[in-house]
Amino acid sequence: MSARTKIDPVGVEPALLANAVRMLAADAVERAKSGHPGAPLGMAEIAEALWRRHLKHNPANPAWPDRDRFVLSNGHGSMLLYALLHLTGYDLPLDELKRFRQLHSRTPGHPECGVTPGVETTTGPLGQGLANAVGMALAEKLLAAHFNRPGLTIVDHRTYAFVGDGCLMEGVSHEACSLAGALALAKLVVLYDDNGISIDGDVSGWFRDDTPKRFEAYGWNVIRDVDGHDAEAVDAALHAARARADRPTLVCCKTQIGRGAPTKAGSHDVHGAPLGASEIAAMRAALGWPHGPFEIPAEIAAAWDARPRGALQEQRWRETFDRYARAHPALAAEFERRVQGMLPDGWDALAASLFSKACAVTAAKATRKLSQEMLDELVAQLPELLGGSADLTGSNLTAVAASRAINGNDGDGNYLHYGVREFGMAAAMNGVALHGGFIPYGGTFLVFSDYARNAIRMSALTRQRVVYVLTHDSIGLGEDGPTHQPVEHAASLRLIPNVDVWRPCDALETAVAWVAALERANGPSCLLLSRQNVPALARTPNDVEAIRNGGYVLRDAESGPARAVVIATGTEVAIALDAQRILADAGIAVRVVSMPCTSVFDRTARDYRDAVLPPSLPCVSIEAGVTSFWRAYIGREGLALGIDRFGESAPASELFAHFGLTATAVAAAVRGWIAIRETRDAQSRSPARTSDSTVSA
Ligand SMILES: Cc1ncc(C[n+]2csc(CCOP(=O)(O)OP(=O)(O)O)c2C)c(N)n1
Ligand SMILES: [Mg+2]
């Protein structure tokens, strides 16, 4: 008997079990007339070996904290995952497989966490699933170091990821895997679908890396030359991988894309298109699969069903956890709080103390510095905060007294030096958040948020509580010049749905931004912070409620009814306040609105928004960045003061003058604009005088 025809203890040939996956994937793609059969067909044996022989999971409880995590980083092969989830007993009935890629099905085109039970992360943007897996393995390691006690191991699971050529070509795989090597994430096991094919064809024209050597250079354990269609060989490799306690493992599996499709296997044609009725019929014949579409014989279904074993595994863990809880009741309660993502008892008091601390600030300080002062207390009080920076710790001011650096040997730190890896950091933070037990925050310069951008988008799409600390938020960073000066970034981050972008103007707004970001359990927040000082505003904790609305009247017109509303954010708020004074001296009353977070403001009631920005009043926006974003608030007629070009290298104060963003320049611009508007309005009320106009734009 060859290895491949070995009979499983349950009495079914593993080859048949793999073919069940193949047929479900091929038939679902065929029915949807859309999808990617190549990877599911090519990875069927690998999947059988991992999912039936190694993966620790309980399909009846996808939230069991100590389950192994599985990530399909080559997310285009989603039908592989759906077939596995269905077959092993998750709440994903055949009807859902029949509705693959249809509106509101639980089987969307690419795996989406929160939609399908058992899907750990949303994948499809190649390489990022792998980086998520690195974050998950990191979270496991840290949680284990913090909570496990001798003889009472409550955190002990692995993270497995499937990756294709595409994931390994993507740069983020380098960032994440290099980091995983440095951190010696031994419980990370990656299985590479080395089929030599990507969409454009044979990869030898564009991907000739020696992948095993590459990963060895990262410090990984590499298992080479595994026949990915020999489930016994994959099984053996997985045993070997699990035996390593010192470094992550890459299992390089040689496979044939579309394996089992008689004429199309091995060709890029099978990557992303239905096989077609005749090819599927020929495949049924070639595989000796006499069953119709979506028909799984009972003995095959029984052999795949992971529920009995999963229930037992979870039961055993629960017994350990109960013993743990008896021995360490406070730790056990803390563990449960952490994995549920609840803020601790006393959170409101902690937030209140941040607010009073912020109100006591009297000196001018940079908002990045004020953020650090808030973090000082937060990190000391919240062990779930996992901080870090992409090699800009001293600039982002993300480390505080209570921060302890993590390195390969010491798993119990709370601060990660991610290295110069913005995208890898962001994608790993998503993995950390998805794993649970932590609230990750990480810093870089705002201008480099572009490097991380798709991962920020994925934080938003997956609704994860990740906090991005993005400092040096405008031309105010000064001499480093236009390469480092963000102009479009605040606006462009605000365009991503479900991201809350905070740009605070002082200590209290900074405190509120942190509190809001940490309380926000269903999405990421970006904190845009200044390098340069902002003046301290006179504040009381009563102001908190207004700030929590994202936009509010900071100082209303005092010398008469407001003739305009001036909206500003961050460091430009102080400019707006000074301009307000200059205008008041000239007899022009304006209202100043601070708008630290537009999306939060947008979520307030219409009446509130109309009270802050009365529809009858003309509006001005001031932000040291692109102006077009502000049209939504100031309208076509509004005056948008900002910077619609790249910055310059010069001291910050000279730059603000150069770009017309000083109190005097702003006051003059507002004054001229009000004059034009009011003259025009007067003319439109008395049409006969229109031709006499002496005011020009
Ligand atoms: C970041 C990103 N770029 C491009 C794509 C589009 N895309 C989907 S699959 C694929 C090729 C992947 O090749 P491989 O990983 O080898 O998958 P296989 O064809 O072997 O299944 C591409 C370019 C994507 N999903 N994500
Ligand atoms: Mg490939």
Euclidean distance between the first and the last CA atom of the chain, given in angstroms as a whole number: 89
The residue whose CB lies within 8 Å of the most ligand 1 atoms, and thus the one to mutate among 78, 126, 204, is 126
- The pLDDT assigned to 342 comes to 98
Distance CA(261)–CA(284), nearest Å, equals: 9
The pLDDT tens digits of the residues spanning 297-350 come to 999 999 999 999 999 999 999 999 999 999 999 999 999 999 999 999 999 999
The pLDDT tens digits of the residues spanning 217-268 come to 999 999 999 999 999 999 999 999 999 999 999 999 999 999 999 999 999 9
Band the pLDDT of 6: cuts 50, 70, 90. low
Element (H, E) at 26: helix 14-32
- The pLDDT assigned to 410 comes to 66
Distance CA(302)–CA(300), nearest Å, equals: 5
The pLDDT tens digits of the residues spanning 11-70 come to 899 999 999 999 999 999 999 999 999 999 999 999 999 999 999 999 999 999 999 999
Element (H, E) at 333: helix 329-340
Whether residue 258 has its Cβ less than 6 Å from ligand 1: no
Residue 613, pLDDT above cutoff 60: yes
Distance CA(267)–CA(263), nearest Å, equals: 9
Residues in CB range of 501: below 8 A, 6 or more apart: 490, 493, 494, 525, 526, 528, 597, 598, 599
| Rounded mean pLDDT, 124-144 | 98
Strand pairing of 69-72 and 159-163? Answer: parallel
Residue 158: CB atoms within 10 A of its CB come to 22
Q: Can you name the residues that pair with 415 across neighbouring β-strands?
A: 387, 405
- Mean pLDDT, the chain, whole residue set: 96
Percent of the chain with pLDDT over 70: 97
Tell me which residue of 56, 283, 296 sits closest to 156, measured CA to CA: 56
Burial 646-667 (b: 16+ CB within 10 A, else e): ebbeeebeebbeebebbbebbb
Just list the catalytic residues: 422
What sign has the CA pseudo-torsion 403, 404, 405, 411?
A: negative
The pLDDT tens digits of the residues spanning 521-544 come to 999 999 999 999 999 999 999 999
Residue 203, pLDDT above cutoff 60: yes
Phi, psi of 254 (to 5 degrees): -75, 125
Element (H, E) at 197: strand 197-198
User: What does DSSP assign to residue 250?
Assistant: E
- The pLDDT assigned to 407 comes to 82
Whether residue 39 has its Cβ less than 6 Å from ligand 1: yes
Distance CA(505)–CA(181), nearest Å, equals: 40
Residue 108, pLDDT above cutoff 80: yes
Whether residue 524 has its Cβ less than 6 Å from ligand 1: no
Which of the ligands is closest to the CA of residue 258?
1
What atom in ligand 1 is closest to the CA of residue 164?
15
What sign has the CA pseudo-torsion 370, 372, 376, 377?
A: positive
Whether residue 195 has its Cβ less than 6 Å from ligand 1: yes
The residue whose CB lies within 8 Å of the most ligand 1 atoms, and thus the one to mutate among 271, 453, 457, 458, is 271
| Rounded mean pLDDT, 468-490 | 98
Contact 428, 418 (CB under 8 A): yes
Whether residue 199 has its Cβ less than 6 Å from ligand 1: yes
The pLDDT tens digits of the residues spanning 579-606 come to 999 999 999 999 999 999 999 999 999 9
The separation between CA 88 and the C-alpha centre of its own chain, rounded to angstroms, equals 28
Which of 49-53, 239-243, 405-409, 447-451 has the weakest average pLDDT?
Answer: 405-409
Distance CA(569)–CA(548), nearest Å, equals: 14
Percent of the chain with pLDDT over 90: 95
Distance CA(324)–CA(315), nearest Å, equals: 14
Residue 330: CB atoms within 10 A of its CB come to 8
